[in-house]
Structure 1
């Protein structure tokens, strides 16, 4: 029997019946619980997945089969660690640890085996693969490129080859991760404003001994990923435990224990928001009543038709565009009238406009001497609130504050309209050495996108609160070729950032998920000047021979439609 046929056999039958080959048996698992719905539309508490059953090493396997079997045993390690141990010598078992990031490689990899020698009892083989990602110990998923190459030492024993030297950590293929992990959105609370949930994307491994609902909530009780440390908080006391999760025809019953204050109505509302969104946004218990108990006693009930303000950005249907320095409303039909006050008057020298949220929005603009602000009311006038000749375009936070980075002095500035004060905000030391071009706060009031130089985007977070607020947790998101330029960035929602890149060959517009780095290209026909977005709405302005026109992205058709044919420049949405 050839090696390829032996491997096929190994994947087809259970380990105890295998006589040759290496790998895992794949068994569909639906989980111990489901939510039954008489109408057939019920959401399971668990996610269907394929369970990997590892196969122990076989005496007749060669070195390559042994290494491939070892990798497959890593895929099943969380369910059954005993099989992986059987691939190792006693010394290797004593030294090896599964701790650390999970390396994710592309499915196709090579195992290079040296020519055999009759008297040889040990050999060193080379494992070559292309990296795809890391799943860090905080469950964050970070795409990673490059070649991963490591030597593996094997010893020939009476019952076959065993690995005598193994790098620490688990090594999984992309298919392994697709089978056993699920992208999961967890929801924490904006530490500063306490009025908004902030999404934290992780990769959670499906567990054969508990429902996915329990896996999600158990992880929600833990701290957020490193990207949000210090920026968010939780309504769950540190000693909270999930005692049980049960389901009925139309409801899910969650029993908690711990030092929850059952008389604190604010904490109760926040807890309901965290649980509801962390389950429903992952298609778990969606449309179901969620009953929450504390120590078996009724605590609170979340109904699917109840209002959920925790992800509200107070933006509504507001959209604007600029024509010759005058700000106009954008209507569903296109062109609207100029806004009230000085902001609606045509003038030169004002650019990079930004609009705040809420019922009484303010508009900010950059000039040659600083940042000016005006109210969108008849008596509204432009007033310079931040001075500086090297400032980034202004950006509003959901708390009503206005932000910009002063490149000349290397300081992040925050203007509070209520107190008419400008305050410096602490930034990481390395940012002082970089050429900051853009600084954009997401609508959740926590995440920040920063472009440095012409071709790099980093994602950070506003940590702390009050006077202790600072910019931290900077992580690389994307970069372009050195000859290219990042022309504009815009937050579409809490998870996705639009990045417009100008290259010599043309433009690209990418939507990048800041949680896992997934990148989706947006088709372009015309050359865009700037881009603005809010949820499913994406707008851009295009320079034509007759002036400027405003375009809207049709998401269904993945094409751009003309919104306003002429005299319509920079589009604006509140925040983002």
Structure 2
């Protein structure tokens, strides 16, 4: 279960009967596991194509304890919606108390099973210890969390006095499987909510959609399950900073499902009476949440019709973009970088042009030599850190604009102990960290000006070396230095407004930082590359430099890796996933068009898309 077959030096542990027309594979567990003694791995079922559905075989007559355990573990990896076959391996009492939906434990390889030697006088009871190395868990909210350490759980069997059949009478809650079975059975899907605290972009008054990645079973009615998950609300980690337009108590109408779009791509979603009284505007926000969420599934959903109390509430068919915005919808006009004269220059983002133009205004005039830059998401304002890292400047991208005084200074003694490259959020806030060991701080300059606001970072263990804020304005990615390690951590941004009394300024806090790349020891560059995805450059302990995509929950997305590139010093991507990846390496500034290899753009440093 979960382990790769190759190189194990033994035959298949699974008999299969295949029905090609229906795309169904039936599993029968019959691997040889000893009733006592050494540990043997429970092998994985092979990776299947997406259209192939896998179902397990029920226990055979007079199955041995080994076959019962094997069959049960195999049944956990099937596409049986309610695990009915897996329950046939349990006693009636165990089946009634077992809750497979509570969690999924992912192991590096399939679970091993060690039969404990029973007492001689007891021939009707036997237990097995399931073992392995954890790599992740998926909880009852379907949220993924990386994990590590040993896995050890007991499965107890008993022999029925009347029938003489062995069955499992004590089983761990949830399900367990190897990594390859998890990848075959589950897929990551973003569900969408709206940033709370009246967070809006600087360019529009539309609410900002925030991605909340969860894992669902790939071949078990994912459309209906994602609709239910979305209506149930956000995951615990994201909940404090988002809102849902679905009223409390909303659910699918009793008996609804499975939900399937018609041949025009329209999905009708029948809701209970809790949603019946909402107005058109709120109903369309609910429909937008569904459209953003279900576009990641197949067949694609193009229109959403919400129904309640026997009638239509609203129909959203002109696109969710008319109701809300999200980072992936923002197409950058330009790619920006620092040229050899240390000026801020730009080239058009949507073509193969390699001839840059200095940006309008002071940062493009060469008045101040720059080492790093950031451009606001509306591309009207930019920030630059001076060549020595001591000062941060902000200037309008308008011809004739002046530079003015620095908006922030660092007293760090060396260039590496001064200001990080800055980053803009969607509300026009400018984020930067001061790496001064004597006073390390994370700062926010609202609207890119005024007195820098010190951002609270409880739970931060280390010093911030790099900052990137997500387009939604409620999540932030930090490279954190502790000792010799540089880790990528993602936190939640919480804002409290002035109370009108003693509190004159808002309080901004980064909470619940979690590692997104626990396997990397040195993260040297990173950038947001989608609504819930980052591109990261780093290396494992004793390994070589690599570039990879990671999701904010620490999982690895099922997308191709970027082409190999050596000597990467900086990387930038747009939340618009159609924009090419751009890096600064030993070859200068290079970009990676879709389906191609890295291409030299020009000489220069510090490439950035807006953000």
Please confirm whether the aligned pair reaches a TM-score higher than 0.5, indicating the same fold: yes
Which one is further off, 323-332 or 496-505?
496-505
Aligned to 1:495: 532
Q: What does residue range 70-109 of structure 1 map to in structure 2 within 5 Å? A: 70-75=72-77, 79-80=81-82, 84=86, 87-88=89-90, 98=100, 100-105=102-107, 108-109=110-111
Q: What does residue range 218-237 of structure 1 map to in structure 2 within 5 Å? A: 218-237=228-247
Match of 2:313 among 299, 306, 320: 299
> Relative to structure 1, is the Cα distance of residues 148 and 385 closer, same or farther in structure 2, using a 3 angstrom cutoff?
same
Aligned to 2:405: 383
Aligned partners of 1:230 and 1:464 also within 8 Å: no
Q: 1:223, 1:203 → 2: CA distance?
A: 15
Deviation at 1:202, TM superposition (A): 0.9
Aligned partners of 1:441 and 1:449 also within 8 Å: yes
Which one is further off, 364-373 or 394-403?
364-373
SS at match of 1:8: strand
Aligned to 1:572: 608
- 1:400 lines up with 2:464 in the alignment: no
Listed one character per residue, the Cα deviations across residues 482-510 of structure 1 (whole Å, up to 9, x for unaligned) are: 5xx42221112222212222688753222
Aligned to 1:540: 583
Q: 2:475, 2:70 → 1: CA distance?
A: 41
Q: 1:487, 1:111 → 2: CA distance?
A: 41
Q: 2:439, 2:466 → 1: CA distance?
A: 15
Aligned to 1:329: 346
- 1:512 lines up with 2:514 in the alignment: no
SS at match of 1:321: strand
SS at match of 1:319: strand
Deviation at 1:551, TM superposition (A): 0.9
Aligned partners of 2:89 and 2:168 also within 8 Å: yes
Aligned to 1:341: 361
- 1:355 lines up with 2:375 in the alignment: yes
Q: What does residue range 63-462 of structure 1 map to in structure 2 within 5 Å? A: 63-75=65-77, 79-80=81-82, 84=86, 87-88=89-90, 98=100, 100-105=102-107, 108-113=110-115, 120-121=122-123, 122-158=125-161, 159-163=164-168, 165-174=170-179, 177=182, 180-192=185-197, 193-194=199-200, 195-205=207-217, 212-243=222-253, 244=256, 248-250=262-264, 251-260=266-275, 264=279, 266-287=281-302, 289-303=303-317, 307-308=321-322, 310-311=325-326, 314-323=330-339, 324-331=341-348, 332=351, 333-346=353-366, 350-358=370-378, 360-365=380-385, 368-377=389-398, 378-389=400-411, 390-407=418-435, 408-417=438-447, 420-428=450-458, 430-431=459-460, 433-453=461-481, 454-462=485-493
> Relative to structure 1, is the Cα distance of residues 345 and 526 closer, same or farther in structure 2, using a 3 angstrom cutoff?
farther
| Higher strand content, 1 or 2 | 1
Deviation at 1:372, TM superposition (A): 1.9
Which one is further off, 501-510 or 489-498?
501-510
> Relative to structure 1, is the Cα distance of residues 231 and 284 closer, same or farther in structure 2, using a 3 angstrom cutoff?
farther
SS at match of 2:289: helix
Listed one character per residue, the Cα deviations across residues 14-61 of structure 1 (whole Å, up to 9, x for unaligned) are: xxx9999589xx9xxxxxxxxxxxxxxxxxxxx9662635514642x3
Which one is further off, 257-266 or 327-336?
257-266
Which one is further off, 529-538 or 459-468?
459-468
Aligned partners of 2:13 and 2:29 also within 8 Å: yes
Aligned partners of 1:459 and 1:514 also within 8 Å: yes
- 1:522 lines up with 2:524 in the alignment: no
Aligned length: 532
Aligned partners of 2:382 and 2:394 also within 8 Å: yes
Gaps of 5+ in 2: 1-9, 20-25, 32-41, 201-206, 412-417, 498-505
TM (norm. structure 1) is: 0.80
TM (norm. structure 2) is: 0.76
Aligned partners of 2:295 and 2:301 also within 8 Å: yes
Q: 2:86, 2:314 → 1: CA distance?
A: 45
Deviation at 1:518, TM superposition (A): 0.5
- 1:554 lines up with 2:590 in the alignment: no
Match of 1:50 among 49, 53, 65: 53
> Relative to structure 1, is the Cα distance of residues 100 and 502 closer, same or farther in structure 2, using a 3 angstrom cutoff?
closer
Q: 1:264, 1:162 → 2: CA distance?
A: 54
Q: 2:518, 2:94 → 1: CA distance?
A: 40
Aligned to 2:415: none
Deviation at 1:458, TM superposition (A): 1.0
> Relative to structure 1, is the Cα distance of residues 303 and 77 closer, same or farther in structure 2, using a 3 angstrom cutoff?
closer
Aligned partners of 2:373 and 2:382 also within 8 Å: no
Q: 2:547, 2:28 → 1: CA distance?
A: 53
